[in-house]
Amino acid sequence: MDYRLQMNDISKRFGEVQALRDVDFTVGSNEVVGLVGDNGAGKSTLIKIITGYHAPDSGEMYFNGEKTEGLTVARARQLGVETVYQERALADLQTLWRNIFMGREISGRFGFLDVDKMMHETEELMVGSMGFTSSAVAPDSVVRTFSGGEKQGVSIVRALHFQADLIILDEPTMGLALSEVRKLLEFVQGIKEAGKSCIFIDHNIFHVHSVADRIVVLDRGEVAGEFVTADIPLEELMDKMYRVAQTGSLD
């Protein structure tokens, strides 16, 4: 198996709280991994370690097979890790194309911005790569009016376009309307089709089961179970999740 990310024996404590204990976690190349578990299970903490925001107390991390120590946020980004946030992702008052190319603008000769080219590429990305169909989502529309799902879609498009290899979505469907959730789940499918990897965190097991190749269950800082989605029907997974919540174990 070709791993994009491999974590061994990761532990993290905040004062009295053991947020993660001896966690093994992997993401394959071109794999969508669902990460589930109750409030406080340690999901966001794990993500913050992957993005270089928190340092683990102990354990090892490998990106693309290479051991990484002293990971920083900047280094994680260099390694191709991008996190998509629901609200903080975009500059609301700017147009779509500006949001896509922010910080990575294309200039023509003489250093002027090549607006036509950026608009054109934006259009191709939105319609071609991600299947955006809403007429409200044009390259020169202002993103403030986009739905929460559309905004995240734009962030995913941007991450893919700029070569993110591992895209992390922490509770992306929270607060989205049903139709937006569907769109978002399609965007996650788009990550898969683009040949990239994804970590998808959601409290809604229906969402996770519908997009993840593999599902990892965290419980009170420990990995309580791990399933290949194709091998476990939704009902059985729900049963097991319920049992984990009651007893902390799958047995």
- Residues in the site for Mg ion, rule: CB under 5 A? 43-44
Q: 9, 17, 72, 127: which one contacts ligand ATP (CB under 6 A)?
A: 17
Q: Which stretch, 38-46, 57-65, 137-145, 241-249, contacts ligand ATP (CB under 6 A)?
A: 38-46
Q: Is residue 51 at the binding interface for ligand ATP, with CB under 6 A as the rule?
A: no
Q: Which stretch, 22-30, 36-44, 90-98, 119-127, contacts ligand ATP (CB under 6 A)?
A: 36-44
Q: Is residue 28 at the binding interface for ligand ATP, with CB under 6 A as the rule?
A: no
- Cβ atoms of 217 and 244 within 8 Å: the answer is yes
Of 45 and 95, nearer to ligand ATP (C-beta) is 45
**Partner whose binding site includes residue 14, from Mg ion, ligand ATP, none (CB under 5 to 8 Å by kind):** ligand ATP
- Cβ atoms of 137 and 146 within 8 Å: the answer is yes
Q: Is residue 207 at the binding interface for ligand ATP, with CB under 6 A as the rule?
A: no
Q: Is residue 45 at the binding interface for ligand ATP, with CB under 6 A as the rule?
A: yes
Q: Which stretch, 35-43, 131-139, 144-152, 225-233, contacts ligand ATP (CB under 6 A)?
A: 35-43
Q: Is residue 55 at the binding interface for ligand ATP, with CB under 6 A as the rule?
A: no
Q: Is residue 131 at the binding interface for ligand ATP, with CB under 6 A as the rule?
A: no
Q: CB 10 → Mg ion: shortest distance, Å?
A: 16
Q: Is residue 44 at the binding interface for ligand ATP, with CB under 6 A as the rule?
A: yes
| DSSP one-letter string for the chain | --EEEEEEEEEEEETTEEEEEEEEEEEETT-EEEEE-STTSSHHHHHHHHTTSS--SEEEEEETTEE--S--HHHHHHTTEEEE-TTTTS-TTSBHHHHHHTTS--B-GGG-B-HHHHHHHHHIIIIIIT----TT--TTSBGGGS-HHHHHHHHHHHHHHTT-SEEEEESTTTT--HHHHHHHHHHHHHHHHTT-EEEEE-S-HHHHHHH-SEEEEEETTEEEEEEEGGGS-HHHHHHHHHHHHHHSS--
Of 19 and 208, nearer to ligand ATP (C-beta) is 19
**CA neighbor of 98 nearest in space, from 82, 118, 116, 128:** 118
Q: Is residue 215 at the binding interface for ligand ATP, with CB under 6 A as the rule?
A: no
Q: Is residue 42 at the binding interface for ligand ATP, with CB under 6 A as the rule?
A: yes
Interface residues toward ligand ATP, by CB under 6 A = 14, 17, 19, 37, 39-45
